[in-house]
Chain A
Amino acid sequence: MKLLNIAWRNVFRHTRRTIITAAAISVGLSSMIFMNTMMNGADKMASRNIIDFETSHLEVFAKDYYREEGVFPLDTIIENPRYIADGIKDIPGIKGITPRVKFQASISNGIDELPVLGMGIDIENDRRIFETGNSVVAGRYLQNSGDVLIGTDLANDMSLEVGSYITIITKDRNGTYNAFDLEVAGLLNTGHPLFDRNMAVIPIAQAQELLAIEEGVTEMCIRAIDEETLGPLKEKVSEEIGAQYEVFTWKEMNAAIFEISGFKRAGQFMIGLVVVIIAAVGIINTMLMAVMERIPEIGTLKAMGFTNSRIVRMFIYEGGIIGAFGSALGCLIGLLISIYLVHVGLDFSGLFENVDIVYPMKFIIKGEIDYVNMLYVFLFGILVSVIVTLWPVRKATKLEPVDALRHV
């Protein structure tokens, strides 16, 4: 207790030096928190976009359908979706099931033709599971055969508006070209680039007709009640429907995105490390000065019978106190920045306009605060301060008391 007390007072012997050192630490830590908040926000947005628009929590495919992303073969589809729906509807933990038909197509406004991803949805069921129905910003949701929903970006690209007519063209299961005229019923603004830029959403019956697949669908989307524990649910579904079908979680299907996320985090860690090293050099410098200018004091303490370990502890407390100040300040600044990011977000849209990205989100990134991470950052700051203090303090312990006393 006494040692801590002495250390505390020594910290305030040079208030300005302490403040500058603590500030260096706080800048390092707050930038770590800032980056973490952004990464979390980006990952959360991407995850939400995938779950709420693209795949929901689990997807069932016919065996060998799902080979890679962006390929939609029609030779291996679910021929009898009702069988699956009936088979699994009583499994506890399932909130809803809806079929979808995805296909490669192109749409034409009479002048230009653009490739899109066609998607047939069950009009009523789909909106219970996905947010697509709640993202119609102009016009209305699908009602009748002949309606199509397209993204706002696609509408801009092709100069389309609500009520415009387009032609959708695709190859059916037999390899024959097939086309329908559709009326734009509504415009979607989902925040998911795939949906806003490249998607034509039509009633599922029409898609089945267009592709000549009868009752078949390409996938069944399952929404779980608890999205944290999808593994057991996947097992149960898998068991129920048998080996001619495959079940994937949304994470499995988007492994590439989480791989990118892993890279980003590694990058974030490296940047954080560099910043912390800079801050650590600050502490080393401050503690080195503290030791050097207090050598006669150290000699006096040794003459009194203070052991090296007590003296080291005193300096460690000192480094730790400075570190704690810096860490607390850093976390506070990081928290304030994070709160701003959560409510306002950072707008990268000007920077990345028309750049195609893998990451399924738009470029207004809103932060997501991770308080546990913040606690770790706080403790990390103190730990680093304490560890780097050991090096200058070694100098103090190596001194013989006579030499320390003689030192002026």
Chain B
Amino acid sequence: MIETIDLHKDYRIGKVLFPALRGIDMKIEDGEFTAIAGPSGSGKTTLLNIIGCLDVPTRGKILIDGTNINELSSRRKAELRKTQIGFVFQTFNLIPVLTAYENVELPLVLLNLEPDKKKERIVAILEEVGLGEFIGRRPNEMSGGQQQRVAIARALVKEPTMVLADEPTANLDSTTAKEILALMQELNEKHGTTFIFSTHDQLVMDYSRRTINLRDGRIVEDKRKPKGPR
């Protein structure tokens, strides 16, 4: 479970102090499929980065399963990212010199898995995201949708407790975006992995079961619905 208590984050741009988050209090249960929505500048990426141990809050607490992650050393944070958290980025961020298979393999380099088990996992997850035939391709030989599928496979291959996706569909056309969302929803249900997105895309909000609306660094709305469209 992720819990934030009075989370603040200020950015200093030149001499101006810019408050990105102004007191976020929320709880996200394990296995949720949650969108953090809002216009650009509302603080959603900042919130995701803080949850993902990539950034630190100026004030307030963030607890993951009861642990205040602010108090962790950067090494422990890296450890947490290595085992618990998968990232999906707007720009996919695949390593261009590596094939789909190798990109997915990358997070596992850090974990001590047996080679056979590793290979099994990579092939399985690539098949799950529908890229069974593309494992030998490099990013520049794949479409945007395929690249994002590789990125999702890469986020999930280490079997994390949560996947954080920052604007995962922003660089995709709407058809592809729907496919990607459907895929993530399916994976969420199947693996029970917590998915948290940031988005300003209505489509993503339609798919999510819970939408937390941010504006100017504050939660303005937190609505839940039983299940998104399939």
Contacts and interface: CB of A to CB of B under 8 A. Distances in A.
B93 A296 contact: yes
A13 B138 CA distance: 13
B132 to A, nearest CB: 22
Contacts of A263: none
Contacts of A305: 78-83, 107, 110
A303 B166 CA distance: 13
Contact of B54 (A6, A301, A303): A303
B26 to A, nearest CB: 20
Contact of B52 (A2, A10, A303, A306): A303
Contacts of B89: 300, 405
The DSSP consensus for interface residues of chain A is helix
A307 interface: yes
Given A9-B98, A304-B106, A297 B93 contact: yes
A399 to B, nearest CB: 11
B107 A304 contact: yes
Interface in B96-125: 96-98, 105-107, 109-110
Contacts of B54: 302-303, 400-402, 405
B96 A13 contact: yes
B70 interface: no
Contact of A2 (B55, B81, B82, B105): B105
A303 B96 contact: no
Interface string A305-318: 11100100000000
B97 A402 contact: no
B22 to A, nearest CB: 19
Contacts of B15: none
Report which residue of A9, A13, A310, A401 has the largest number of chain B beta carbons within 10 angstroms of its beta carbon: A401
B49 A304 contact: no
B95 interface: yes
Contacts of A302: 54, 78
B75 interface: yes
Given A297-B93, A305-B83, A405-B89, A6 B98 contact: yes
Contacts of A299: 93
A155 to B, nearest CB: 71
Interface residues of A, number: 22
A304 B95 contact: no
A298 B75 CA distance: 16
B207 interface: no
B87 interface: yes
Contacts of B154: 304
Interface string A275-308: 0000000000000000000001101111111110
A306 B81 CA distance: 9
B105 A300 contact: no
B97 A13 contact: yes
A306 B110 contact: yes
Contacts of B188: none
Which among B52, B83, B106, B154 has the highest number of chain A CB atoms within 10 Å? B106
A402 B55 contact: yes
A400 B96 CA distance: 22
B197 to A, nearest CB: 16
A126 B72 CA distance: 86
Contacts of B75: 307
Nearest to B46: A402
A300 B107 CA distance: 11
B91 interface: yes
Nearest to A408: B91
A304 B52 contact: no
B49 A402 contact: yes
A302 B89 CA distance: 13
Nearest to A8: B97
A304 B82 contact: yes
Among B75, B91, B109, B110, the most chain A Cβ lie within 10 Å of the Cβ of B109
A302 B105 CA distance: 15
Contacts of B105: 2
A300 B52 CA distance: 12
Nearest to B94: A300
B78 A307 contact: yes
A300 B83 contact: no
A227 to B, nearest CB: 56
| From B79, B80, B97, B105, residue with most partner A Cβ within 10 Å | B97
A297 B87 contact: no
A300 B96 contact: no
B97 A303 contact: no
B59 to A, nearest CB: 17
B87 A304 contact: yes
The 6 residue pairs across chains A and B that have the minimum distance between CB atoms:
A305-B82, A9-B97, A305-B81, A300-B93, A402-B55, A2-B109
17 contacts: A2-B105, A299-B93, A300-B93, A304-B81, A304-B82, A304-B154, A305-B78, A305-B80, A305-B81, A305-B110, A307-B78, A310-B110, A400-B54, A400-B55, A402-B55, A405-B89, A405-B93
Given A304-B106, A305-B78, A402-B49, 7 more contacts: A6-B95, A301-B95, A304-B110, A304-B154, A305-B82, A307-B75, A402-B54
